[in-house]
Chain A
Amino acid sequence: MKQPVLEVRDLKTHFFSRAGVVPAVDGVSFSVNAGEVLGLVGESGSGKSVTGYSIMGLVDPPGRILGGSVLFEGKDITKLPEADWRQLRGNRIAMVFQDPMMTLNPVLRVGTQMVETIVAHKKMPGRQAQQRARDVLGMVGIPSPEERLSAYPHQFSGGMRQRVAIAIALLLEPALIIADEPTTALDVTIQAQILSEIQKLIGEHGTSLIWITHDLSVIAGLAHRLAVMYAGRIVETGDVDDVLRAPLHPYTRGLIGCVPSSNRRGQLLQQIPGMTPNLLNLPSGCAFQARCSRADGACTAPPPLFTRASAGGAYCFHPHTGDGA
């Protein structure tokens, strides 16, 4: 079997705030194979973004990676010195953030920012770097890329800015791209444009992708595999088809039921009662027990992994296993 591009094992990232220790990511494990799209799904505060930052080595104090390992192409990168990190970041692993207004430098031309990225990693004459920047800009579907290189970020619309951010991520043909809710701030039509570009590009280059989102409907069309996070832990993994068709974990099932869908028009949506728990004060055992209809006394112990026949599984004492309940 091929070695996965990225393997995260028992990753723990905690924030040491004044109010106490926040276990934002608490024992997360997953892997991404070459050319695979992994959807990381969860609500706000579930730790999905912090997982992305931890892989990129972008966790700032008071946050700290306490334990676990992140194997990128077989090497543990959590303990790399900063100098080695700089070789990796942007070059082999790239990230696309949610808000393209905040991630581009407003006082530098787009071309300058792109060339800067190339020159930081590769010895390349300026003209050639310029050429490469123009090509990639054209690749992500920006019209007349030659002229747009000398434009400033504010001269682009939101969708175009996100394309620039994606272009910068693609510049050096990384092995892995982490995309943190890149289409959440965009309109439906623009979101569809970005999704179609992304789908095409990763298909052509064999890039692996981690797509972080709260929107199950985006993931349904894009990802191969899915990992659902709740309160800092992964509660369910599996192939997209399996997870969406037959969710094992009550939380995944609840999430899917929450999505307004045409075949339930006019009826009440199934809702998950209560709200996401405070990470400062998590119950022992399964974090979902307070909102779960299946919970009982057993749930105060750490839930076991129930494996699915095909791939993946769920951490739950009472998984939905086709008994119709």
Chain B
Amino acid sequence: MKSNNPSAISLRGVSRRFGQPANIFKRAQRSLKRLRGVPVRNDVVFAVNNVDFDVMQGEVVGLVGESGCGKSTLARLAAGILPPSEGKVLFRGTDLRTLDRAEMKDVKLKIQLIFQNPHASLNPRLRAADIVGEAPLCHGLVSRADYESYVDTQFLRAGLDPKLKRRYPHQFSGGQRQRLGIARALAVQPEVLVCDEAVAALDVSIQAQILNLFMELRSQFSLTYLFISHDLGVVEHLADRVAVMYLGRIIEEAPVEELFSRAQHPYTQALLAERPSIEGRGRRFVAIKGELPSPLNPPTGCHFHPRCPLAMPRCAQEAPQLREIAPNHRSACHLNDTA
């Protein structure tokens, strides 16, 4: 971990709740129930729950977890496009809430998102050149006169042939479309790229091409990445530091070698043990029991305790705190206290 670098994005005690806006009928029903003394359950999901998290400048941070654990919500919070319900998000040390509209716009330009599905995240009615060039033109990063050559440069950066720029998204293959998404993100000169499952929808051979492109761009433009993936192999290959999420909380965080060789949290250990790998031939698959519980009704205490092979009575009552167990290695587990 490059701890001497200043922080690019920091999350401090950030939570994000999602609840259904109650209509008048539902509200009346609820107050009736309350009057009769019937317990009312609030349909509120804590997608992200009290998370402290930093991405340092020039660092690649991997974020892993199962579907429904809040990875994508965290990505949107970090990118500043979703306001937190509690806590604060800082970009280079400034709280995003203290910024006015113009400043907020600058921050949003500095943090760009790349999405999983390149079919859904490109406007099908715009030509490729306009998809890439629209934002820089709007934000005054390029003049009308330089527009064409600017777009060409962006195409080349992402490994696309500028000759294709008059085409529409559907005329590109999956890998090319993902490159188009990358070109669009890079066109506004960002400092941070938040990649939300950016290679999950691609074939292996195309995935390798895109991963290589990410690494080349990183060294060329000293970019910072928050790389979200459920694929541990991809994260291990790319990231400097990895954070593991489970049901809205970060449960372990460590430099990549440390995490993959000395994972401490039972959930991380299980994830690593279950990872199918090309080296593990003819092995028996051992499975962790159960599945991700519903975030509407999470287990008490440590969220992982119903599935944990090492659970103690204490785990059901008290949520463990994320704390440092080795230099730069943080973990949230009661076993840290006993060991």
Interface residues of A (CB under 8 A from B): 43-44, 157, 159-160, 187-193, 195-197, 199, 214-218, 220-222, 240-241, 244, 254-262, 264-266, 268-273, 275-276
Contact = CB atoms under 8 A, between A and B. Distances in A.
Interface stretch (B34-42, B123-131, B269-277, B308-316): B269-277
A264 B280 CA distance: 16
Contacts of B283: 221
Given A216-B204, A244-B278, A256-B278, A271 B286 contact: no
Contact of A216 (B212, B230, B274, B278): B278
A206 to B, nearest CB: 17
Contacts of A195: 276, 285, 287
23 contacts: A187-B66, A189-B288, A189-B292, A192-B285, A192-B286, A195-B276, A195-B287, A196-B284, A196-B287, A217-B233, A217-B280, A220-B276, A221-B283, A240-B281, A259-B204, A259-B278, A260-B208, A260-B233, A260-B238, A261-B237, A262-B233, A269-B208, A271-B208
Contacts of B189: none
A241 B278 CA distance: 10
A159 B232 contact: no
In the complex, the 10 A-B pairs of residues with the closest C-beta atoms, listed nearest first: A260-B237, A192-B274, A258-B208, A193-B287, A196-B285, A43-B203, A195-B285, A187-B66, A269-B208, A217-B276
Nearest to B68: A187
Given A195-B285, A218-B276, 14 more contacts: A188-B66, A188-B232, A189-B288, A189-B291, A195-B287, A215-B276, A217-B276, A220-B280, A221-B283, A244-B278, A258-B204, A261-B233, A268-B215, A275-B205
Contact of A43 (B204, B233, B236, B277): B204
B222 interface: no
B317 to A, nearest CB: 25
Q: Which of A189, A193, A216, A220 has the most CB of B within 10 A?
A: A189
A215 B215 CA distance: 23
B237 A265 contact: yes
Interface string B193-224: 00000000001111111011001100000000
A188 B287 contact: no
B147 interface: no
A116 B270 CA distance: 38
A196 B286 contact: yes
Secondary structure at the A interface, as helix, strand, loop or mixed, is: helix
Contacts of B230: 187-188
B168 interface: no
Nearest to B294: A157
Nearest to A45: B203
Contacts of B236: 260, 262, 265
A44 B203 CA distance: 7
B235 to A, nearest CB: 9
A264 B204 contact: no
B287 A189 contact: yes
Contacts of A262: 233, 236, 260
A265 to B, nearest CB: 6
A272 B206 CA distance: 8
B66 A272 contact: no
Contacts of B291: 157, 159-160, 189-190
Given A262-B260, A269-B237, A255 B279 contact: no
A260 B205 CA distance: 11
B285 A244 contact: no
A221 B276 contact: yes
Contacts of A192: 274, 276, 285-288
Contacts of B208: 257-258, 260, 269-272
B307 to A, nearest CB: 8
A269 B211 contact: yes
B256 interface: yes
A275 B233 contact: no
Nearest to A216: B278
A239 B278 CA distance: 14
B322 interface: no
Contacts of A218: 276
A240 B205 contact: no
A157 B293 CA distance: 10
Given A189-B66, A190-B291, A258-B204, A221 B212 contact: no
A157 B290 CA distance: 11
B96 interface: no
B212 A269 contact: yes
B327 interface: no
A187 B290 CA distance: 12
B282 interface: yes
A192 B285 CA distance: 6
Given A187-B66, A192-B286, A260-B211, A271 B205 contact: yes
Contacts of A187: 66-67, 230, 292
A221 B203 contact: no
B250 to A, nearest CB: 18
Interface string B141-167: 000000000000000000000000000
Contacts of A44: 203
Given A192-B285, A221-B283, A258 B237 contact: no
B83 interface: no
A259 B238 CA distance: 12
B173 interface: yes
A256 B277 CA distance: 11
Contact of B204 (A160, A193, A214, A244): A214
A199 B285 contact: yes
A217 B232 CA distance: 12
B315 to A, nearest CB: 18
B190 interface: no
B285 A221 contact: yes
Contacts of B274: 188-189, 191-192
Nearest to A260: B237
Contacts of A217: 233, 275-278, 280
